[in-house]
């Protein structure tokens, strides 16, 4: 039976390397489509949880995972020798930036080496980890071809960028359109067939992995640049005494040529603050400096310091000093109503507050505890006594659930909302202690 026949008949064994926010939902959808799926991860704790049917990713339905494991359609392992049993392997590992904002491809390279030693004929390898244009051809392919097997003939290789939006109630892995670019036409053909067997969404084919890699970068560069514009407009509007949130609502009534983006204390998550800098890095190889992207990054990075300065001014108006003040940070997740703190701007806000001598506590209904810069933090319960004992609150995450903002504002001496989550309360106009970015 050919690989294509195995894919179409759902008889292919599929492996997913990396069981995080991208990998586990993908593994679940592949198993739900009828494939036998093996998940690989270096963290034994994740492997044990999957094999016990215990879910740890918000976008995965608990009962789906439990049933798939019980039915033996999905299992996890730390043993990479199991790759030998796979017909299809998808790489979904992290691609962070180092402290110089340069790509760290360590996880991709190590995963590819694990595949290389077990690569066999008629195997499809797809890379989903976000990276710079050229990674599939220039990094992954040479490692795999060290085996002597030829791409497009003996094995197939393609890039298909992940499009995960944690907490999105409409678009999940199953119904989000996919992009696929193979190293050869046969590679594209096999990868397209694989994703069409899994998804209830169109699969867009592009000429090569480079176009697919660049498409992913464009998607998030579009967002980082427009968020930077929103942040800069907010800074100018504040100086001019203009309510910028009202400006956005007004502009958003235009049915064409405008898309609303919102200011805040910075940008978070794995994609927006990271992906564009993969292009910045690669562009230097072609003697080009992505000035707009770099400037957008600078503006967004500066917002955490700006909101702390604004809070300092508000405290000063009340004859309070930032040094020694007790500040409650409301929300440390990078996005509302999720439990993900990756690259969260709230972490930078906490850093700036502590540098200025503030005593920082936090509350987040989704994140009971976390470690940052080797320091442990635990969420505190919101009580009237607590709010009466602090000097100010800064809202850094727009949680819509499990937070009583009315209670917060009525009992805290000062509330600075950087996400406009208290908009409806502020419209009442009777809370002089409430300020919005």
Q: Which residues are catalytic?
A: 271
Length of the chain: 437
Torsion angle (degrees, nearest 10) of CA 310, 313, 315, 320: 140
CA 368 to chain centre: 20
C-alpha to C-alpha distances, 197 to 1, 174, 376, nearest whole angstrom: 17, 11, 44
For residues 433 and 368, is the Cβ–Cβ distance under 8 A?
A: no
For residues 403 and 365, is the Cβ–Cβ distance under 8 A?
A: yes
């Amino acid at each position: 039976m050919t690989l294509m026949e195995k894919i179409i008949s759902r008889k292919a064994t599929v492996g997913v390397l990396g069981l995080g926010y991208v990998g586990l939902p993908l593994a679940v959808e592949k198993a739900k489509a009828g494939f036998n799926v093996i998940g690989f991860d270096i963290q034994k704790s994740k492997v044990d949880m999957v094999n016990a049917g215990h879910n740890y990713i918000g976008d995965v339905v608990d009962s789906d995972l439990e049933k798939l494991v019980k039915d033996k359609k999905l299992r996890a392992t730390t043993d990479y020798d199991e790759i030998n049993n796979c017909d299809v392997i998808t790489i979904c590992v992290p691609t962070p930036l180092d402290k110089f904002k340069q790509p760290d491809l360590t996880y991709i390279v190590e995963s590819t080496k694990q595949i290389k030693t077990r690569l066999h004929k008629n195997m499809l390898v797809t890379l989903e980890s976000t990276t710079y244009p050229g990674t599939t051809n220039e990094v992954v392919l040479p490692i795999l071809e060290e085996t002597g097997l030829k791409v497009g003939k003996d094995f197939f290789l393609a890039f298909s960028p992940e499009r995960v939006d944690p907490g999105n109630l409409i678009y999940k892995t199953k119904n989000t359109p996919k992009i696929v670019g193979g190293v050869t036409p046969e590679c594209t053909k096999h990868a397209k067939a694989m994703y069409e067997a899994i998804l209830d969404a169109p699969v867009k084919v592009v000429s090569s992995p480079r176009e697919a890699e660049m498409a992913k970068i464009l998607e998030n560069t579009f967002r980082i640049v427009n968020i930077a514009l929103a942040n800069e407009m907010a800074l100018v509007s504040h100086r001019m005494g203009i309510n910028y949130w009202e400006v956005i609502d007004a502009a958003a009534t235009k049915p064409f040529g405008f898309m609303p983006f919102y200011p805040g204390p910075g940008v978070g998550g794995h994609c927006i603050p990271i992906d564009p800098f993969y292009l910045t890095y690669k562009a230097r190889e072609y003697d080009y400096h992505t000035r707009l992207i770099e400037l957008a990054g600078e503006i967004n990075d500066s917002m955490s310091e700006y909101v702390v300065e604004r809070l300092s001014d508000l405290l000063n108006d009340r004859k309070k000093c930032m040094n020694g003040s007790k500040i409650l940070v409301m929300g440390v997740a990078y996005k509302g109503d999720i439990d993900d703190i990756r690259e969260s701007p709230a972490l930078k806000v906490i850093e700036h507050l502590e540098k200025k001598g503030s005593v920082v506590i936090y509350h987040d209904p989704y994140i009971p505890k976390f470690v940052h810069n080797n320091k442990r933090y635990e969420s505190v319960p919101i009580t009237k006594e607590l709010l009466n004992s602090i000097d100010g609150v800064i809202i850094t995450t727009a949680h819509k659930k499990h937070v009583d903002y009315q209670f917060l504002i009525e009992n805290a001496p000062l509330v600075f909302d950087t996400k406009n989550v208290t908009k409806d309360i502020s419209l009442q106009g009777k809370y002089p202690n409430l300020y919005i970015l």
